[in-house]
Amino acid sequence: MKILVTGGAGYIGSILTPTLLNDGHEVTVVDNFMYNQSSLLDCCNNPNLTIIRGDVRNEKLMHKMIKNQDIIIPLAALVGAPICDKFPAEAKSINLDAIKLILKLRKKAQKIIYPNTNSGYGVGKKEMYCTENSPLKPISIYGKTKVSAEKAILNKGNAIVLRLATVFGISPRMRLDLLVNDFVYRAVNDRFIVLFEANFKRNFIHIRDIAKGFIHCINNFEKMKNEPYNLGMSDANISKLELCEEVKRQMPDFYFIEAKIGRDPDKRNYIVSNEKIEKTGFRAKISLGEGIAELIKGYKIIKRNQFSNI
């Protein structure tokens, strides 16, 4: 198929784009390369890849790019609460208004697979799983713009929404600000961490399982369309304290302690059910332990802090 991936050189896109190419699809990437990343250089020899350096808010450009595509995967976004809090106007224009532009320009037959975040659940009820029927109560600008975009997409139809768990793992366009990636980086470089609100929980998934999730949606679009799906690991609803314990299993000299005073500015605290997508035949394969081992090796290479969204 012909697939347009906006933000295709970002953290997820840098894994998803070569995955789509390896499956034989023709991929067009629109990305503004705002982090000066070089993450798709290894794909440039593939004749099925087209790269456009541009802004997804440019209507003239997007009209041309969308025109002959079968599927649109809008990854382009300001991702994460801190960067959206710092640039709220840009967050709205990229995370929401650019999605509305895609919906305006696309033909009804063109399919959309949209990555939302399960941070839209905000603060869940203790020991109660968030399902796709749970109320969405985002607490950050990031969560609010993504939830609004999800609603707009589902209202237009011929789309699938994936509510992504917190992603971890190595990518050519690396991010160090994601929770697992951050904790392992601190363990490797600082050997300690001070935890705030250590029992707050969330769900996790490896970045390569995210890419496989998109492929699963492409291959099962007709039976899955017009619905949201949580995409995470069912055995990875864990707290920050439990995450540190997982890291310590592989790095015994890693020290962590919970501060009795202080709050985590990221208030997310929930557990998530992934049963709905698992019933369609998808299950995440890469364990948290495998991801931690991968990150430990990766941080022998990465010694700089530029791989962050803020």
* Mean per-residue pLDDT over the chain, rounded: 94
Residues 161 and 246 in one domain: no
The confidence score (pLDDT) of residue 304 equals 66
Segments of the chain scoring below 50 in pLDDT: none
What is the span of the domain harbouring residue 70? Answer: 2-168+204-231
Question: CATH number, domain at 226?
Answer: 3.40.50.720
Residues 146 and 76 in one domain: yes
Q: Cβ(207)–Cβ(231) under 8 Å?
A: no
Residues 34 and 97 in one domain: yes
Q: Give residues with Cβ within 8 angstroms of 187, minimum separation 6.
A: 193, 247, 248, 251, 254, 296
Question: CATH number, domain at 185?
Answer: 3.90.25.10
The confidence score (pLDDT) of residue 260 equals 79
Residues 102 and 227 in one domain: yes
290-308 pLDDT per residue, tens: 999 999 999 999 876 655 5
DSSP state, 126?
A: T
The reply to whether 291 falls in a domain is yes
Q: How many domains does the chain have?
A: 2
The reply to whether 76 falls in a domain is yes
The reply to whether the predicted model has a pTM over 0.85 is yes
Residues 83 and 195 in one domain: no
83-132 pLDDT per residue, tens: 999 999 999 999 999 999 999 999 999 999 999 999 888 876 777 899 99
For 156, the token pair is 């237009």
The confidence score (pLDDT) of residue 64 equals 97
